[in-house]
Amino acid sequence: MSKADLIVGLQWGDEGKGKIVDHMAQTHDYVCRFAGGHNAGHTIVIGDKKYALHLIPSGVLNPNAKNIVGNGVVLSPKDFIKEMDQFDNLEGRLFLSDKAHVLLPYHAQIDQARERLKGDKAIGTTGKGIGPAYGDKVARVGHRLGELLHPEKLTAKIMEFFAINKPVFDAMGVEAPVESELLAELQGYRDALGTYICDTTQMMWEIMDADKKILLEGAQGTMLDIDHGTYPYVTSSTTVSAGACSGLGLNPKDLGKVTGIAKAYCTRVGNGPFPSEDFGAEGDKLRENGHEFGTTTGRPRRCGWFDAVAMRHAVRVNGVDQVALMKLDVLDGFDEIKVCVAYEFKGKEINYVPYDLEDVKPIYKSFPGWDKTEGVRVFDDLPETAKSYILALEEMIGTKMGIISTSPEREDTIIR
């Protein structure tokens, strides 16, 4: 029986997982998404064409790979269908779990209303409805993708849900759907997606028993995990490697090699603590060089230096076997490159991630910069200062940088 290799983000999301999933998908039979919703965003560049993926696994760009969306995902049919339009016939290459929860337009209305009511205490969500959809799931009032196959029954359940919660929705300014319009909408989703909906748990077990090569694709990053991230400024799903088990119906013994993805610096979207954020000209330069604007939201990302403390935390939580270091070329041209090596917390120096990151201050170590790494494909061809930087990061986090990306292009990748 085969084991499933896993790719997981190690920072605050946006690490460049899409490129590495695309790279590794060339040698895998199946690529499987296990968590998150269309708040995730992968940008993949192949030649002169750019693809923006939010829900469809990145293996879609390998014509020989099949793609599974697992039960741990919350799926917006409207957005999924729009995303499918980028590709030709996906039948036989795409499978959706009948146990994945459905995210409908009213979830986004609830999400945006809650953020408005919080005012300056807003979390900074994408407003896509991810939190409310996961909230309904946990509260046992959600609806699963398999229910789309029976739109009349699902319509009745949703209308009943709105009737029961009318005072709450009225207070939030969330309008109940018109029953006839809702039914027509759900029927359209059934017609577009019905042939893709199946029992993916059984499918996962069957393909593992058949020794297929399987790659599991995470969304967001470790520091946004609902349990292990900077709560409450997190996403609503389990983003760490353990989430692949519950999100696809696997057990821990089914997991193979874990590759963690990290940028050569750090970014974050939305509110919440970010210890190594740079508020000055260097942060602006990182944003400009790295084109740091959200694939999903278009929002400018907050930028800062590599945080080795948070990275050690993420490596341990995920059981990382190797790190893929992304966007090394973004650091080209900096005279000095800083790394957060410890935190100052309540007057003491610490080397771990505490309960609350709001009160920590970064302690930096500086490294000399370099001229150019863009497009380099062999480790020994990198500038000596870039090699020294990478080796120092390995020492700090206790894991090898097995893959190094030097541009968005698929082939500009160093394999060590």
Q: Residue 42 catalytic?
A: yes
Q: Residue 278 catalytic?
A: no
Of 186, 199, 188, 190, the closest CA to residue 98 belongs to: 199
Of 6, 12, 5, the closest CA to residue 225 belongs to: 12
Which residue among the candidates 42, 54, 228, 313 is catalytic per the annotation?
42
- Helix axis angle for 77-84 and 179-193, nearest 10°, is 40
Which amino acid would we find at residue 137? K
In whole angstroms, give the CA distance from residue 293 to residue 309. Answer: 25
β partners of residue 343: 350, 362
How many CB atoms within 10 Å of residue 192?
15
Answer yes or no: are the C-beta atoms of 220 and 229 closer than 8 Å: no
Of 235, 262, 301, the closest CA to residue 7 belongs to: 262
In whole angstroms, give the CA distance from residue 141 to residue 358. Answer: 34
Which residue among the candidates 14, 29, 136, 307 is catalytic per the annotation?
14
The b-or-e profile of 241-267 (16+ CB within 10 A means b, else e) is bbbbbbbbbbeeebbebbbbbbbbbbb
Answer yes or no: are the C-beta atoms of 317 and 240 closer than 8 Å: yes
Residue with tokens 């541009």: 407
Of 208, 182, 203, 216, the closest CA to residue 98 belongs to: 203
Q: Which amino acids are annotated catalytic?
A: 14, 42
